[in-house]
Amino acid sequence: MTILKQTLTILLTVMLMMGCSDLKVTSDKDNTVDFNAFKSFSFLTWNKENSSLINELDKQRLINAVKSELMDRGYAYQESGGELAVSLYIVLDQKTGTNAYTSYYGGYGGGYYYGPGWGWGGGYAHTSYSQYDYTVGTLVVDVFDESSKKLIWQVVASGTVDDNPESREKNIPRVITYMFKKYPKEKIKN
C-alpha cells in the first residue's frame, strides 16, 4: 500500500507540473514583515479596465482560489477591513506563433554532372509553415498591509491562456496553488 501511495503521489506531482509547464512565476516580499502577525484578509475591488478582460466566472474562480490559499494559511476572510488587502490584476496579450516542418526526400537522382559542384544529384526538401494565434495571460497578486498601505508580497505568473472553460475551471486553482508555493507563511497542516 505504501508503494501505491508513493507512486500515486509521484504521478500526481508530474501531472500538476505538466499543467504548469509553460508557467513562469516570480515573487518578491518585504523581508522585514512577519506574515504570522496578520490574522485576516479582504480583497480590493477590481480595476475597471482590468475587470472587463475576463468573465465573471473566471474572476470568481480566481478569487475563490486565492481565498482558499490564504485561509489554508490560517487567515480569516472578511468582506472588508482585513489586516491584509489583496489585489488581483490581469494582463492579456495576443501573440502569433509559427510552426515549420521541413521534409527531406533524399536519394540518388538525376545524372552525373560536371563543372562546379559536380557529382551525383540527390533529393530535395520542402518546408511548410503555419501560423496560429494564442493569448499570454499575466496574473499579478499583490498583498498589502492594510494599516500602512504598504506592498508586502507580490507574485506574478505568466503563461498561455487556455481557451477551454472546463480546463480553466481545473487549472485556475492549480495555477494559484503553484503561485502561492512562494508565499512566506506555510499552510497549516490539518
Taking the C-alpha atoms of residue 7 and residue 93, their distance in angstroms, rounded to an integer, is 38
Return the ∠ at Cα 181 (arms to 179 and 187), rounded to 5°: 125
State CA 18 to chain mean position distance: 11
Beta carbons within 8 Å of 100's beta carbon, 6+ residues apart: 127, 128, 129
Report which DSSP code applies to 75: P
The predicted model gives 124-148 an average pLDDT of 85
| Weakest-pLDDT range from 25-29, 89-93, 114-118, 143-147 | 114-118
Nearest to 47 by CA among 89, 92, 79, 80: 89
151, amino acid identity: L
Q: Distance (Å, rounded) from C-alpha 186 to C-alpha 127?
A: 52
Task: Give 18 or 65, the one with higher predicted confidence.
Answer: 65
Pull the grid cell for residue 17.
507540473
* Model confidence pLDDT, tens digit, residues 159-168: 888 777 788 8
Q: What is the pLDDT of residue 83?
A: 98
- pLDDT(14) > 50: no
| Span 59-70, average pLDDT | 96
Q: What gap in Å lies between CA 47 and CA 157, rounded to an integer?
A: 18
Please check the confidence at residue 76 and state whether its pLDDT lies above 80.
Answer: yes
Q: How many helices (H) and strands (E) does the chain have?
A: 4, 8
The pair phi, psi for residue 8, each rounded to 5°, is -65, -40
pLDDT at residue 40 is higher than 90: yes
Q: Where exactly are the structural domains of the chain?
A: 98-130
pTM: 0.71
